[in-house]
Amino acid sequence: MAEKQKKPSVILKRQVTTKAVVTPAFKEFLYHELQENIKHYRNQLDDATAQLNSMSPADPRAAEFNKVKMEASTYLEAEQDQRKFIADLKLKSLYSQGPVEGFVTVSVGDNVYEKLGAVELVIEDGIVKKIQATSSQYDKVTKKR
């Protein structure tokens, strides 16, 4: 009996865009994340301030602590804007959560542009509602009209 020969293949990493349907639960989740970030940055600000108060301004590490202090202060100053942004999100609209990494197997004979093309996940309250792939730029440019 002849064995079926396997095509050579590799696993590649690609970006997958995630978008969340805005629901009351999702807004609650965003507020929770904001609160956690605020706690984190307040702790960073307190720690950096304490370190700076315990060292000489000439200490070479002072610049690093000043940078941390400035970044934390900037984040905390934007808190009200972030709260307003969350409050203003319209229910049932899509909120881009950014990319996640996905993996795809590419074998000899595959169209790499299709395999690595844009993929988007639409999520509602943590549940994937839709997976959609858009045509690749290669297809858009080379397609006969």
Hey, what are 107's tokens? Answer: 């074998």
DSSP per position, 23-68: -HHHHHHHHHHHHHHHHHHHHHHHHHHHHHHTS-TTSTTHHHHHHH
**Predicted TM-score of the model (pTM):** 0.73
Confidence tier at 115 by pLDDT (50, 70, 90) = confident
Calpha distance 117→135 (Å, rounded): 7
User: Is the model more confident about 47 or about 117?
Assistant: 47
Give bridge partners of residue 94 from the DSSP assignment.
21
Read off the DSSP letter of residue 142: H
pLDDT band at 88 (very low <50, low <70, confident <90, very high): very high
Mean pLDDT in residue range 84-88: 96
